[in-house]
Amino acid sequence: MSNQHELINYIEIPAKNMAKTKAFFETCFGWTFTDYGPEYTAFDKSTGLDGGFYQSDHSSLTSNGSALVVFYSDDLEATMAKVQSSGGNVIKEIFTFPGGRRFQFTEPSGNEFAVWSEL
């Protein structure tokens, strides 16, 4: 798919520990990365959206006003188990909301993500 005018195209996320963040996403979600020096690594559309991680002392947390990146899962409980076994920390257990259920977690660099599923 080519770039599309005025659609979200790329996301960049901070990483306190690049190696642990990459290992988490490789193990948990099967991501692959292309390194651009020691302080930047990119992931591609096979993840759902192009993006990258940049070296930073900060984390992306909703409590700090950051946007929340949300994954979709056909099996929420299985995905939560994978997140935990891969080194993620569940910070909000599975809860319901209008239209589905979700949980929220942080990865080894402290960035917050969510995973949702339909009821």
Tens digits of per-residue pLDDT, 15-52? 999 999 999 999 999 999 999 999 999 998 788 889 99
Query: Measured between alpha carbons, how far is 111 from 61 in angstroms, rounded to an integer?
Result: 6
Mean pLDDT value across residues 1-23: 91
Tens digits of per-residue pLDDT, 50-85? 999 999 999 999 999 999 999 999 999 999 999 999
- pLDDT tops 80 at residue 2: no
**Number of domains comprising the chain:** 1
45: nearest Cα among 1, 111, 107:
1
Calculated CA dihedral for residues 20, 69, 73, 8, nearest 10 degrees: -120
The predicted pLDDT at position 38 comes to: 94
Residue 38 lies in a domain: yes
Three-state DSSP class for 40? strand
Query: Measured between alpha carbons, how far is 31 from 89 in angstroms, rounded to an integer?
Result: 19
Residue 2 lies in a domain: no
| Single pTM value for the model | 0.94
Give the bridge partners for 117, in sequence order: 101
Range of the domain at 22: 11-117
Residue 76 lies in a domain: yes
The predicted pLDDT at position 1 comes to: 52
Handedness of CA 86, 88, 94, 100 (dihedral sign): negative
Here the CATH number for the domain that contains residue 20 is: 3.10.180.10
Mean pLDDT value across residues 80-95: 98
Residue 20 lies in a domain: yes
Mean pLDDT value across residues 92-114: 97
Residue 79 lies in a domain: yes
